[in-house]
Structure 1
Amino acid sequence: MVTIYDIAEKANVSAMTVSRVINNTGKISDKTRAKVKKVMEELHYVPNHTARSLVLQQTRVLFLLITDITNPFYTTLSRGAEDAAKKSDYRLLFGNSDESLEKESDYLTTILSSRVDGVLIAPAGDPSFPHLDSLRKHNVPFVLLDREVPGIECDIVLGDSKEGARSLVDYLMSQGHRRIAMINGSSSISSARLRLQGYQEALKLNDLIYDEAYVHEASFGPQSDLAQIEQWLDSMEPMPTAIMAGNNVLAIEVIRLLRKRGLRIPEDQSIVCIDDFGPYSEMDPFMTVAAQQAYQFGYLGMQMLIERIQERNIAVPWKKIVLPAELIIRRSVLPISE
């Protein structure tokens, strides 16, 4: 096995110089650095990351924990995070909680035992507080994505969920819809609460009455209770002319259930949602959405995390980025006359 002493001997430099080149520390001339790297390539040297992490107290490994890997929003977000990590020479590990606090807890245990340098996390919801507090107590830097957790102060990247929901309801009303229902995520999730507020505010501004019977709470992830959604669809009287879904996963579930009933979109039922469908939407541009900047969520969040790691011994104010959503009008809404 090739060691730094072998490289030092062939390059005619000290072992300390080789170590500085490998760890990118100290003042070394470009000529010496290039010579050492050339010898490393010739000898096919592979750095011992474990030993390096013990010396520098860094692993250069980060962890991304999301809530639903099947959701195009999170797959695109993950790509943004990975690109930003790679650009700064970090390796990235992934985890998927499926909106489950139990799975999230298991991942946090793994994270703490693996000595990663930092964590980018979309929490399952407000009950995630003890998991995040554990990271804080162990001095593991972390950045939240998409969701705030009361009592946790940290860097965070959010979407403008309230305005995104308002823009969808305003658009439906511009198309003549007045009976607008909403299926949303759990009220224990900050983004779901904001989307409900946006829906309510849009109704109020248009002199429409908020009806609790027209609102249903489900899971944002793949664990939604389809039987309960079916009961909700059957219970609304009169049936709404349009439905707004709190995210794209719920929109798909509702469309499946409506088609099961023989209803057509948008001829029999209009539907819109928060979040786009990634590259799939380009193949059949169908759903009208308030599209969040998924890639930017991951990329900016990762940049913030790396900055926090690099400045962990400096008192830097917490940063909060709010990304606007874009209303994209497609074919899932049928204009109706009053």
Structure 2
Amino acid sequence: MVTIYDIAEKANVSAMTVSRVINNTGKISDKTRAKVKRVMEELNYVPNQTARSLVLQQTRILFLLITDITNPFYTTLARGAEDAATKNGFRLLFGNSDESLEKENEYVQTILSARVDGVLVAPAGDPSLPHLEKLRAHKVPFVLMDREVPGIECDVVLGDSKEGGHRLTQLLIDRGHRRIAMINGSSSVSSARLRLQGYREALKLNDLPCADGDVYETSFGPRSDLSGIEAWLDAMPSLPTAIVAGNNVLALEVMSVLRNRGVAVPDEVSLVCFDDLGPYAEFDPFLTVAAQQAYQFGYMGIQMLIERIREKEQPLPWKKIVLPAELIVRRSVKELTSTQ
């Protein structure tokens, strides 16, 4: 294995000079730097990243921790995060918590042991607070995305969940729907709480009822067992004319349950949701959605994180970016007459 001493000997410079060229530190003439780099190429030298990290106190590695890699929202977000990291000379590692606090904690341990420079994280929910406090205790910069966690101040990139929930519900009301139900993520997740607030606000402003049984709280993540959704629909005295889903995964699961029951969407029940289906929406543009700027979530989140890393010694004020969602009306909503 080629070492810096081999390079120093062939280039006729000191090992310290070679180290400075590798780590881009110290004052070295352009001529000497070019000579050392030429010898490195001739000997096919690959820098020891661990040793380099110890010198620079930086790994140039970031970590992206999301809750559901199968969700097109997060896959598009990851694309944006990776593009921003690469543009700034960082590598990006990925982790998927599956909305599990236990898995999230395991990833936090991995993050600490890997000595990454910073973390972009979509927390599992409010109970993620101890995990974020652990990162802060070890001086690992982080930026939250999509969800806030009460009890900790930090940089965050959010979607306008309350406004999006309101607009989706208002769209259904404007199309003549008066009995509108909602299936949503856990109340321990800030985005789910805000989407529910927007839904309820729209109903209240239009003097429409919101019965307790019309709202079903579950997890945003995918599930193999849809019996909870089945039981929710069974408990209703009659089906609503429309359903608002807190995210795209829940919308697809509700659609699956309805179709298995022979209930047509939108002829019998209209359906709208948060988040689009990514590239898949182009093949069958069916669902009406509040489409979030998933790519920008990731790209801007990484930019904020790198800025936080670079200003580690002189902390900047915490930043909060709220990105509006775009309402895209498609074929999953039926217009009702005033008598329906």
In structure 2, the residue matched to 1:138 is 138
In structure 2, the residue matched to 1:256 is 256
Q: Distance in 1 between matches of 2:230 and 2:213?
A: 14
User: Which of 43-52 and 33-42 deviates more?
Assistant: 33-42
Give the AA of the match of 2:323. L
1:9-158 counterparts in 2 under 5 A?
Answer: 9-28=9-28, 32-158=32-158
Q: Distance in 1 between matches of 2:184 and 2:15?
A: 60
- Aligned-residue offset at 1:42: 2.6
Give the AA of the match of 1:214. D
Q: Distance in 2 between matches of 1:328 and 1:199?
A: 17
- Aligned-residue offset at 1:4: 2.6
Q: 1:9 to 1:162 in 2, by over 3 A?
A: same
Q: Distance in 1 between matches of 2:133 and 2:249?
A: 29
In structure 1, the residue matched to 2:297 is 297
In structure 1, the residue matched to 2:3 is 3
Contact 2:73 2:275 in 1 (8 A): yes
In structure 2, the residue matched to 1:211 is 211
- Aligned-residue offset at 1:24: 2.5
TM-score using structure 2 length? 0.95
- Aligned-residue offset at 1:36: 3.5
In structure 1, the residue matched to 2:241 is 241
> Per-residue CA shift, 1:142-165, capped at 9, x if unaligned?
111111111011111111001111
In structure 2, the residue matched to 1:337 is 337
Q: Which runs of 5+ in 2 are unaligned?
A: none
TM-score using structure 1 length? 0.95
Contact 1:85 1:92 in 2 (8 A): yes
In structure 2, the residue matched to 1:306 is 306
- Aligned-residue offset at 1:224: 7.4
In structure 1, the residue matched to 2:163 is 163
Match of 1:45, SS state, is coil
User: Which of 253-262 and 7-16 deviates more?
Assistant: 7-16
Contact 1:147 1:190 in 2 (8 A): yes
Q: Distance in 2 between matches of 1:203 and 1:225?
A: 30
In structure 2, the residue matched to 1:196 is 196
User: Which of 18-27 and 131-140 deviates more?
Assistant: 18-27
Match of 2:307, SS state, is helix
- Aligned-residue offset at 1:223: 3.5
- Aligned-residue offset at 1:107: 1.2
> Per-residue CA shift, 1:273-319, capped at 9, x if unaligned?
00011111111111110001111111111111111111111121111
Among the aligned pairs, what percent are the same residue? 76
Contact 2:8 2:18 in 1 (8 A): yes
In structure 2, the residue matched to 1:281 is 281
Q: Distance in 2 between matches of 1:151 and 1:314?
A: 23
Q: Distance in 1 between matches of 2:325 and 2:32?
A: 50
> Per-residue CA shift, 1:207-258, capped at 9, x if unaligned?
2122222110011002475212111112223321110100000001100000
Q: Which runs of 5+ in 1 are unaligned?
A: none
Contact 2:183 2:215 in 1 (8 A): yes
Contact 1:218 1:225 in 2 (8 A): no
Give the AA of the match of 1:61. I
Contact 1:10 1:39 in 2 (8 A): yes
Q: Distance in 2 between matches of 1:21 and 1:323?
A: 42
Q: 1:184 to 1:225 in 2, by over 3 A?
A: farther
- Aligned-residue offset at 1:11: 4.3
Give the AA of the match of 1:301. G
Contact 1:64 1:93 in 2 (8 A): yes
Q: CA RMSD in A?
A: 1.6
1:263-278 counterparts in 2 under 5 A?
Answer: 263-278=263-278
User: Which of 111-120 and 22-31 deviates more?
Assistant: 22-31
Q: Distance in 2 between matches of 1:38 and 1:256?
A: 61
User: Which of 90-99 and 202-211 deviates more?
Assistant: 202-211
Give the AA of the match of 2:227. A
Contact 1:218 1:224 in 2 (8 A): no
Give the AA of the match of 2:72. P
Contact 2:308 2:315 in 1 (8 A): no
In structure 2, the residue matched to 1:227 is 227
In structure 2, the residue matched to 1:328 is 328
Contact 1:184 1:196 in 2 (8 A): yes
Q: Distance in 2 between matches of 1:221 and 1:278?
A: 17
Q: Distance in 2 between matches of 1:7 and 1:132?
A: 43
User: Which of 85-94 and 124-133 deviates more?
Assistant: 85-94
Contact 1:18 1:36 in 2 (8 A): yes
In structure 1, the residue matched to 2:184 is 184
Give the AA of the match of 1:18. V
